[in-house]
Structure 1
Amino acid sequence: MGNTLNRRTALGVGTAATAGVVFGLATPATAAPSTGGGASESSLLRANQVAALYRRAKERAGGNWYTYISVASGGGPTPQPAVRENADTVVEAYSVNKIAVATAVLDKVDRGLLTLDQRVEVTSAIVVPGGDGIFSLDGAYPSSVTLGHALAALLTVSDDTAVRLCGLVCPAAELNQILVAKGFPKTQVEPVANPNRFFLGTSTARETHDLLQALVRGTLLSATSTTFLLNQLRAPIAFNDGIRRTMSSAERARIATKAGWFGDARHEAGLIFDPAGAPVLTYVLFADGQADPDNFGATHPAVQARAAMGPGFIDAVDGLRNTSVPARRTSPYRPTNGG
Structure 2
Amino acid sequence: MTLNRRSVFGLGTVAAATAVLGSHGAAQAQEDAEAEIERFPTTADRSRKRIAQIYRRQTRRARGTWSSLITVADLDGTTRAAVDENADQVVEAYSVNKIAVAVAVLDKVDRGLIRLDQTVTVSAAIVIQDTDGIFALDGAYPSEVTVGHALANLLTVSDNTAVRLCGLVVPALELNEILRSKGFVHTQVVPVANPNRFFLGTTTARETHTLLQKLVDGQLLSAASTAYLLNILRATASFTDGVRLNLTTNERLRVATKAGWFEDGRNEAGIMFSEDNRAILVYSMFASGDFAGDKAANDQDFSTTHPAVAARAELGRSMFDAVIKITTTRPRHREKVYRFFNGG
* 1:43 Cα offset (Å): 2.3
Is 1:131–1:159's contact at 8 Å kept on the other side of the alignment? no
- Structure 1: distance between partners of 2:243 and 2:88: 22
Q: Which amino acid aligns with 1:318?
A: I
The answer to whether 1:308 aligns with 2:295 is no
Partner of 1:14: 37
Partner of 1:191: 191
Is 2:157–2:237's contact at 8 Å kept on the other side of the alignment? yes
Identity %: 59
Q: Which amino acid aligns with 2:57?
A: R
Partner of 1:331: 336
Q: Which runs of 5+ in 1 are unaligned?
A: 1-9, 16-40
Q: How does 1:1-339 map to 2 (within 5 A)?
A: 12-14=35-37, 42-76=43-77, 78-289=78-289, 290=291, 291=295, 292-323=298-329, 325-339=330-344
SS at match of 2:209: helix
* 1:329 Cα offset (Å): 2.6
Residue by residue over 1:208-234, the C-alpha shift from the partner in whole angstroms, topping out at 9 and shown as x without a partner, is: 000000000000100000000000100
Relative contact order (alpha carbons < 8 A, sep ≥ 6): 1 or 2 greater? 2
Residue by residue over 1:295-316, the C-alpha shift from the partner in whole angstroms, topping out at 9 and shown as x without a partner, is: 1122100000001001110111
Is 2:67–2:285's contact at 8 Å kept on the other side of the alignment? yes
- Structure 1: distance between partners of 2:277 and 2:150: 26
Residue by residue over 1:271-303, the C-alpha shift from the partner in whole angstroms, topping out at 9 and shown as x without a partner, is: 110121101110011011124111112210000
SS at match of 1:162: helix
Q: Which amino acid aligns with 2:71?
A: S
Is 1:276–1:329's contact at 8 Å kept on the other side of the alignment? no
SS at match of 1:179: helix
* 1:336 Cα offset (Å): 1.0
Is 1:71–1:79's contact at 8 Å kept on the other side of the alignment? yes
- Structure 2: distance between partners of 1:13 and 1:309: 15
Is 1:231–1:330's contact at 8 Å kept on the other side of the alignment? no
SS at match of 2:43: helix
Residue by residue over 1:19-44, the C-alpha shift from the partner in whole angstroms, topping out at 9 and shown as x without a partner, is: xxxxxxxxxxxxxxxxxxxxxx9322
- Structure 1: distance between partners of 2:115 and 2:129: 28
SS at match of 1:281: strand
RMSD (CA atoms)? 1.6
Deviates more, 1:125-134 or 1:167-176: 125-134
- Structure 1: distance between partners of 2:34 and 2:85: 23
Deviates more, 1:290-299 or 1:162-171: 290-299
Q: Which amino acid aligns with 2:321?
A: D
Is 1:14–1:49's contact at 8 Å kept on the other side of the alignment? yes
SS at match of 1:163: helix
Is 1:131–1:160's contact at 8 Å kept on the other side of the alignment? no
Q: Structure 1 segments of 4 or more deviating over 4 A?
A: none
Q: Which amino acid aligns with 1:101?
A: V
SS at match of 1:63: strand
- Structure 2: distance between partners of 1:297 and 1:307: 11
SS at match of 1:71: strand
Residue by residue over 1:173-205, the C-alpha shift from the partner in whole angstroms, topping out at 9 and shown as x without a partner, is: 000000000011100000001110000000000
Q: Which amino acid aligns with 1:43?
A: A
SS at match of 1:215: helix
Report the TM-score, using the length of structure 1 for normalisation. 0.87
Is 2:275–2:324's contact at 8 Å kept on the other side of the alignment? no
- Structure 1: distance between partners of 2:87 and 2:68: 5
* 1:332 Cα offset (Å): 1.1
- Structure 2: distance between partners of 1:264 and 1:125: 28
